[in-house]
Structure 1
């Protein structure tokens, strides 16, 4: 297994660590620690693709596993933001529907006679970056807020920022999904 694929697997292994940190409020600074884990996972996302392209180590496994790792990690983070009340359920529905639709197109393309593996496009990558920025911003701000003394009231600043960013994520997620499906519509054959 090459280095980029190992980095992708590392990102997948960091998901349970993130879940434990955001789930257990008894851990001091749990949201800040979760943000650090998420940042580490995000760095592996950048590195695996960069190394794979520069060193000609792109594999079909990487083309499938890299976006899958992103989907799992970001969906889990948004689910916890939903639980915290800072992400509207519709945002999560848009994210999940888009990811299933894009994965479906990828599977159909892979099963086509030419066996094409479709990598993420620029809009999909922009979507991933905005999702990561949104998640990191929320968990850092909420983490700092949780560590502040009770008498310092920061209001709902982290929640408002997260709410706005979540809707921006919903918009770019929907747009990137429609664009991806449109660009790969040749693989969606409604006739037998």
Structure 2
């Protein structure tokens, strides 16, 4: 039996958490430890397992796009999806940054990892917790940042410097290209984070100005 709202018309039935987008999001979360393990087999020197890790990362990035498209197209947006989807995204990219920092093991890669993870998880936790009265839509720079991260991390997951023979030079070229893309992603991570916090401050300031206590 359908419920009715204040106007007497039938209210839409709540969306069940048991749907395809949420299943894909859950799958992405489950992939994280498998990706991390495959990436770090033999300290990251295993060509075969690095390729497996790249495949897992690619599937995760594809499901990230697919589950969002399905949820919006079929109106399958749920509270679980709102919480789990960003967590899944940050978990797989966070694992990639940490795993690659362990493999590359340079100060600049660790610095990049710390800066990116602090920004990503701070923004995510704010979106899920204290910003209930503030809605900050995803900026274009944030979308480009996400794409740049996916490309850069995906390429670096491949064993580009572990191959020999005729793949040696192409591997080094692609590795350099991947570092450039990752550098662009880091810049966009910082700028989009600044834009996010600026918008949060602006909206919260407007809310305070409009509050009844402020008008007294």
* TM-score range for the pair, normalised by the shorter chain length: 0.7 to 0.9
**Partner residue in 2 for 1:109:** 131
How far 1:104 sits from its partner (Å)?
3.7
Structure 1: which 5+ residue stretches go unaligned?
Answer: none
**Partner residue in 1 for 2:74:** 55
With over 3 angstroms needed to count, the CA separation of the structure-2 counterparts of 1:51 and 1:152, relative to structure 1, is closer
Distance 2:174 2:101 in 1: 14
- Structure 2 matches for 1:14-53, cutoff 5 A? 14-25=31-42, 29-53=48-72
Structure 2: which 5+ residue stretches go unaligned?
Answer: 1-17, 209-216
**Greater relative CO, 1 or 2 (CA 8 Å, sep 6+):** 1
Contact 2:148 2:182 in 1 (8 A): no
Contact 2:90 2:121 in 1 (8 A): no
Distance 2:130 2:191 in 1: 21
Contact 1:77 1:135 in 2 (8 A): yes
TM-score, length-scaled by structure 1: 0.82
**Partner residue in 1 for 2:111:** 90
With over 3 angstroms needed to count, the CA separation of the structure-2 counterparts of 1:78 and 1:138, relative to structure 1, is same
Q: 3-state SS of the aligned residue for 2:93?
A: helix
Number of matched pairs: 183
How far 1:51 sits from its partner (Å)?
0.2
CA RMSD of aligned residues (A): 2.7
Contact 2:25 2:84 in 1 (8 A): yes
Q: 3-state SS of the aligned residue for 2:85?
A: helix
Structure whose alpha-carbon radius of gyration is higher: 2
Query: Which range moves more in the overlay, 49-58 or 172-181?
Result: 172-181
Deviations, residues 53-108 of structure 1 (Å, cap 9, x unaligned): 00011122212211111111001101122122276222112211211321242111
